[in-house]
Copies of this chain bind each other. A is one copy, B any other.
Amino acid sequence: MNAPIVNPALTKNQTLVFDVLEKSEGPMSAYTILDKLRDHGFRAPLQVYRALDKLTEFGMVHRLESLNAFVACAHREHECCGGAHGHGHGTVAFAICESCNQVLEFHDHKVDHNLGDWAKSKGFKPSKTTIEIRGLCEKCAA
């Protein structure tokens, strides 16, 4: 459960990428981000991927594996997944609406605990856990 970096100083590219993600309604692919940043001088995918790597390392951005896309962390004040206290919230989970693309980010300590128990019982040492629920959000299911 590596504690993320707290309030790191962002570079120009990292700031640009993060701002685009934060202003977005939903998850974005790296190439969509690239297109949004062409006016700011971005020309190549690596410029985006390198920024995303760092932002993910900082805990400010999450990668949605089932979408090959990225979202800004939904938790304010960088308290996400650790943060100032360094104790961590454990694994982040996502509910992804397949109709409106809204993403709900949440923590569930019981799930963490249960998966942790399973791992312990098998001698498995987790480094990163992905939990993604695809489906319909309340509004779209109605």
Contacts and interface: CB of A to CB of B under 8 A. Distances in A.
A49 to B, nearest CB: 16
Contact of A122 (B104, B111, B125): B104
Most buried by B among A93, A114, A122: A114
Interface residues of A, number: 33
A131 B130 contact: yes
A65 B66 CA distance: 5
A136 B131 CA distance: 18
A42 interface: no
Nearest to A130: B132
A139 to B, nearest CB: 8
A129 interface: yes
A53 interface: no
A89 to B, nearest CB: 14
Interface string A106-130: 1010110011001100111111111
